[in-house]
Structure 1
Amino acid sequence: MTLRTIKTTVLLATAAFLFSTDLSFAEDECNGRAAAVVQRAYPDAVKTSDTSFSAKGLAITLPAESVVGDDPHAVICRVWPVYPELMLAAVPLIGGQSNDGDAGDLELLVLDAASLDVRQRLYLAGRMTDDAVRITRIAFDTARYRLAPKQIAFGLRIFQHGSSGLNPFGEVGLSLYTIEDGKLTSVLSGITVSDNHGEWDTNCAGTFDESSRTLSMQPTTHHGYADILVSEMSSGTVASVAANGECVEKRDGPKESILLLTYDGKEYSVPENIRSLE
C-alpha cells in the first residue's frame, strides 16, 4: 500500500461510514411539511427567517429541500413504516453555536401523519450539545425492533466525528424508543453500532481500529421484552514505514463476538465499553 493510499484511508475513514445507504435510516420525509410540524408542536414559536424559528430562545432549523442530512441541526421526519398513520419527527433545539462546540436539546415527536397533531413527545435535554467531537448527522432507524408481540421500537442514530488529525475518530450511536402506556419512552440509550478511531503521526505510522454492531431481537425475554443479540465485527490496522521507505499496513481481523442485552424493567443495560458518547 502506498503512502498516499494510507493517508487517504486514514483521513477519510472516520467520515466514510457515517453515510450509510440503508433505506431503513437514510431518508428524510418531511416533504415540505417541516414548518407545519414546528408550528403544530410549538404554537408559540416565532418565525425568524424562511428556514428558522425560535422557541423559548432556542433555534429551530428547517431542512433544506435539496440536500437531505446536510445540516445536523435541521428538523428530520419519517413516516413510521410499521404504523404508516404515524410520523416521527426529531427537532434539534439549539441554544448556541461556536467553534468550540454547540449547545442544544433534542425533542422527539410522534405525530398523526395526516393532521400533524402531536400524539407523544420526549424531551432530551442536552442531546445536541457537543465539543471537539461534533454531531454531524441525526437519522431515524425504522427497522423492526419488535420488543414484544404488540410492541415495536424505533431507533435514532446520532453520527459524530472528531476533529483531531492525530487521533481520527468517528462513531454512530443508536438509541431505541417505544410508546408504552401512551407515553414515548427510551428503552435503550446509546449503543455504539459503528466506530472508527486511531492514532498516527499524520505521515504513515499509526494504529487504527474499527468495529460495527448489528442488533437482532431474540425469542427469549426479560420483563416482557425480547432479549437483544448484539453481533460485533472488529478489526485493527497497524501502519509503518518499511526499510525501503514505503508505507505499509498489517491488518488484524476481522474478529467476531456476540453479546446479549436484557431488559431490566426500565431499560436495556449497555456495557460501558460499547456505550456511545452523550
Structure 2
Amino acid sequence: MTRPAGKLCRRNAACMLPETIEPPLAADDPMTLPSPSFTLPLPLAALAATLLAVSAPAARAAPDACIVQGATIIESAYPTAARSADGTFVVDGAIIRLPEQNDSDAHAVVCRTWPSQPALTLVAVPLMTRQADDGNEGDIELLVVDSKKATVRQRLRLPGLMTDDALYVSSVALDTAFYRLASRKIAFGLRLSLQGSSRSNPFGETTLWLFLVDDGKLRPVLDNIVVSSNRGEWDTNCAGEFENTERTLSMEPSPQSAIADIVVSETTTTTVNVAGKDGACLDTETAATATHRLRYDASVYRVPKALSRME
C-alpha cells in the first residue's frame, strides 16, 4: 500500500483506554488469558470525519509512576545524563522528556507498575536524537525497574523505533495484559501508534511487540504485529472507501510445545460511501473475520508478513 501523502501536521493525541487490573502471578493460573485489546467501533460516516484523530486502541499507561519516580529512574538508568533547565535530560546526544500530569506527548517517558509482578515497574524511554516538523529520529529503551528502589533490573534498546516522517508516532504505551507463555513466564507488550496526516487518504496503525524477562535478561518474543489499522480514500465530502481492521490476542495451550500458542482473532470492516440522489451520504458495510495461530519457534513467535507493519 502506498503511504498516504499530505501536508505533515504534528499532533500528540494519545488514544486512551481504561486501566485494566490483572491478577498477581500464580503458578496455577489458567492458560486462557483476557484479551489485551478491544475493538473500538467507529461508524464509517463518522470515521470519515474523525479518522485523523484516531490512532488505534493503544492504551497509554497512567503516568503516575513516572511523575513520582521518573527523574529518579532516569538518573539511575543514565548516570551520565545532564538535566536541562526545561526539565529534560540529555544523554549521549539524545533527549529524554519526563511526562507531566495528563500528558499525551508521544515522546515522553512511559511508566507502569507491572500488575503480574508489582515489585517491578516497566518503563519505556524515548531517546530522541532529532525532533522537527518534517520528521523525528530516535530509539526506545525498555527498562524493568525495581518499584521501590528505582534501580534497573533489565534493559533493552530498540533502535529507530521513534523515527518517523509522513507517518508520525502518535502514541507509545505499555501493555500489561496477562500474556502467560508458560508457568512463571509472563510477557508484557509495547504498543506504538502511527498516524497519517492526509485528509483524503486517512491512515492510522497500532503495532504490538511482546517481551519476556528470561534468565535475567529482557528479550523480544513477538516482533511487531499490527493490532489495529484504519485506512481509506475519499473525496473529503462523501464518496470513498474505508477499511478498519482490529485484532485481539489470546493465549491457548499448544499441542506441540510447552509454550502457549497465540491465537489472533481478526475482524475487518469495509465501508463504501456514495452520494445519494437527494444528496444524503449512503454507506454499505461488510465485515469479514479470520483467525491466525502463532506458534513459538525456538525463541520467538513467528508473525506472518501480512500481519506485520510496513517498514
SS at match of 2:112: strand
CA deviation vs aligned residue, 1:89-120 (integer Å, no higher than 9, x gap):
01000011112111001100001111011100
Is the 2:271–2:285 contact (alpha carbons within 8 Å) kept by the matching residues of 1? yes
**Corresponding pairs, count:** 268
Match of 1:270 in 2: 303
TM-aligned CA deviation for residue 157 of structure 1: 0.7
Aligned-partner Cα distance in 2 for 1:46–1:268: 39
Identity of aligned residues (%): 44
CA deviation vs aligned residue, 1:227-259 (integer Å, no higher than 9, x gap):
100001111000111122222111112x22100
Is the 1:11–1:168 contact (alpha carbons within 8 Å) kept by the matching residues of 2? no
Is the 1:237–1:252 contact (alpha carbons within 8 Å) kept by the matching residues of 2? yes
> What is the aligned counterpart of 1:249 among 280, 283, 291?
283
Is the 2:106–2:170 contact (alpha carbons within 8 Å) kept by the matching residues of 1? yes
SS at match of 1:114: coil
Q: What is the TM-score when the length of structure 2 is the normalising length?
A: 0.82
One-letter code aligned to 2:188: F
TM-aligned CA deviation for residue 8 of structure 1: 4.5
TM-aligned CA deviation for residue 174 of structure 1: 0.7
> What is the aligned counterpart of 2:48 among 10, 16, 26?
10
Structure 2 unaligned segments of length 5 or more: list them. 1-42
Is the 1:262–1:269 contact (alpha carbons within 8 Å) kept by the matching residues of 2? yes
Aligned-partner Cα distance in 2 for 1:124–1:221: 32
CA-atom RMSD, angstroms?
Answer: 1.8
Match of 2:292 in 1: 259
Cα 1:256–1:213 change in 2 (3 A) is: same
Is the 1:51–1:63 contact (alpha carbons within 8 Å) kept by the matching residues of 2? no
TM-aligned CA deviation for residue 26 of structure 1: 4.0
TM-aligned CA deviation for residue 18 of structure 1: 3.3
Moved more, 260-269 or 213-222: 213-222
> What is the aligned counterpart of 1:107 among 135, 138, 141?
141
Aligned-partner Cα distance in 1 for 2:195–2:69: 29
Aligned-partner Cα distance in 1 for 2:141–2:155: 7
Structure 1 unaligned segments of length 5 or more: list them. none
Match of 1:49 in 2: 85
Aligned-partner Cα distance in 1 for 2:224–2:148: 31
> Which is strand-richer, 1 or 2?
1
Which aligned pairs between 1:86-125 and structure 2 lie closer than 5 A?
Answer: 86-125=120-159
One-letter code aligned to 1:9: L
Aligned-partner Cα distance in 2 for 1:141–1:109: 14
Higher RCO, Cα 8 Å, sep 6+? 2
Aligned-partner Cα distance in 1 for 2:81–2:256: 42
Aligned-partner Cα distance in 2 for 1:222–1:44: 47
Aligned-partner Cα distance in 1 for 2:108–2:255: 37
- List structure 1 segments (4+ residues) > 4 angstroms apart after TM superposition: 5-8
